[in-house]
Structure 1
Amino acid sequence: MALMKKGAHGLDVQALQQRLAALGAKLAIDGWYGDATETAVADFQRRAGLVVDGIAGGKTLAALAGQAGPRRLSEADLQDVATRLGVSVSVVKAINAVESCGSGFLPDGRPVILLERHVAYQRAGKQSAQLAAQYPALCNKMRGGYAGGAAEWARFTSLAIIGGEQLAIESCSWGAFQIMGYHWPRLGYVSAAEWRLAMESGEPAQLDAFVRFILAEPALLKALQAKKWADVARLYNGPAYRENLYDAKLQAAYERAERLAA
């Protein structure tokens, strides 16, 4: 069953509604993910100690099926971090939702990653031209070439073989908050390998990396505190944020989190 959120429809939504109704939710079993279903999901997440976002992703579906998730973030984790950063928890949830749809791990247990081939080109040094000529899907002046999901790990493995594991680690964004691996030195990690191990250990370590990243960027922290989404988008994801309406997505995710918290 894939991630579902408001606006989804079909048999998967109907199955979700049936599970929620069996747990006491008052909603129609109509296969439409509307306000009532979003509220029922949020209520379940609140009772289960999950991050409350009204989205039925992997963590929520696993909890509905009675499966434990010890490596997952809780609502309390996000509340603690929001307090440390001086922002509302909805701000933290907005970043989490937009960057990784709320989950730091794939269904197979590996961290969510995205290999940025233009970053690989920038970091490959003297190898850049040769790697780009032979493996343009992995190393390229232009961004793109994404495979998505678990297939990103195949790209990671290929880049590690041809360019070294450190290059592969540094060229990927990682986990629930999609922090680029090349930030490891200034965020206080001993090595790229230690960074990878932390990202693989669980969402709490991924959240810690997010906090380190924000605290290392005073301008980003200030933008988050002021909820200036265009500035947040630029500082977090670079000047190309306009291409995918990143700031608008952040604002929409924030507004959804605020609505569910009311």
Structure 2
Amino acid sequence: MSRQAMFDAVRPLAPGRTFTPAQVRAGDAFADALGFPRVGDAPLDPTTADFADAAERLGCSVAQIRAVWDVEATGSGWFTGVRAEILALDGPGGFLDGSNLPKILFEAHHFDRLTGGRFRKSYPNLSSARWNKALYVGGQGEYERLHRAMQLDCDAALKSTSWGGPQIMGFNHALAGYATVDALVEAMKTGGRAHLMAFVAFVQNSGLTDALKAITTFHASAVAFARGYNGPGYSANDYHIKIARAFAKWSRA
């Protein structure tokens, strides 16, 4: 069980299924006693020591892992100062809690695939037979899309979303070191180190370690990693070029 699952289990007992502040505090205290992590307990961004640890685990340089992180996390893996209307979608003690939440992007074509296309006609903004950039709303609004999809098929919705700094797809939870997508999501809410360690596990389990270690300032050196991590469309977004440029920056640091 997770902190969220605990709150969800007792929500039917709350008037209007909305918790009072006192009930949330009591629930948090109970969850603390059970050892469930709180949102944002750890620093939001990986520390210098975290990056050094990740580089040692992967046998690469800090500059190589920092270069990829810069490109994937685009500055940070978090939405900070989450808007009140986003948090109000499921009320206190719900899935959307905390002033900071990990960055996400909900992918309608994956939701369509995982649900067999059964919501394609009724919810065309959430389920699409093909990737369609126009369906993104961007920023914190992606949580609204995710929340709506979760009401249709929670497991498929979480698996159809990319999470945190490394933007790991939920359906890749096992590659990131988590038995379930729920466990991955709960970890992504705790802090930047969890984001980085999920990335480390993903690289190792996806056979991308050597490709990461091959990155230099030359664009071609980053092609293998960019293709393996971002898929065949990597070149459309110049991922290999961005990674090589970021590596040059961190090599001088």
| TM-score, structure 1 normalization | 0.68
Contact 2:42 2:192 in 1 (8 A): no
Of the candidates 167, 174, 182, which is equivalent to residue 171 of structure 2? 182
**What secondary structure does 1:189 align onto?**
coil
Residue in 1 that maps onto 2:149: 159
Residue in 1 that maps onto 2:11: none
Q: What is the RMSD computed on CA atoms of the aligned residues?
A: 1.7
Question: Could you list the runs of 5+ residues in structure 1 that have no partner in the other structure?
Answer: 1-67
Deviations 1:98-118 (A, max 9, x none): 112231111120110011112
Deviations 1:50-108 (A, max 9, x none): xxxxxxxxxxxxxxxxxx97343111110111121111111111121111223111112
Residue in 2 that maps onto 1:113: 104
Instruction: Output the amino acid matched with 1:112.
Output: K
Deviations 1:9-35 (A, max 9, x none): xxxxxxxxxxxxxxxxxxxxxxxxxxx
Per the TM alignment, residue 187 of structure 1 is displaced from its structure 2 partner at its CA by 3.6
Of the candidates 90, 101, 107, which is equivalent to residue 74 of structure 2? 101
Aligned residues: 188
Misfit runs of 4+, over 4 Å:
none
C-alpha separation between the residues in 2 aligned to 1:244 and 1:212? 24
Per the TM alignment, residue 149 of structure 1 is displaced from its structure 2 partner at its CA by 0.9
**What secondary structure does 1:106 align onto?**
strand
Residue in 1 that maps onto 2:12: none
CA distance 1:188–1:96, change in 2 (3 Å) = closer
Instruction: Output the amino acid matched with 2:78.
Output: F
C-alpha separation between the residues in 1 aligned to 2:119 and 2:184? 24
CA distance 1:96–1:187, change in 2 (3 Å) = closer
Question: Could you list the runs of 5+ residues in structure 2 that have no partner in the other structure?
Answer: 1-40, 83-99, 216-220
**What secondary structure does 1:148 align onto?**
coil
| TM-score, structure 2 normalization | 0.70
Task: Say if 2:45 is the partner of 1:72.
Answer: yes
CA distance 1:185–1:80, change in 2 (3 Å) = closer
Identity %: 36
C-alpha separation between the residues in 2 aligned to 1:92 and 1:186? 18
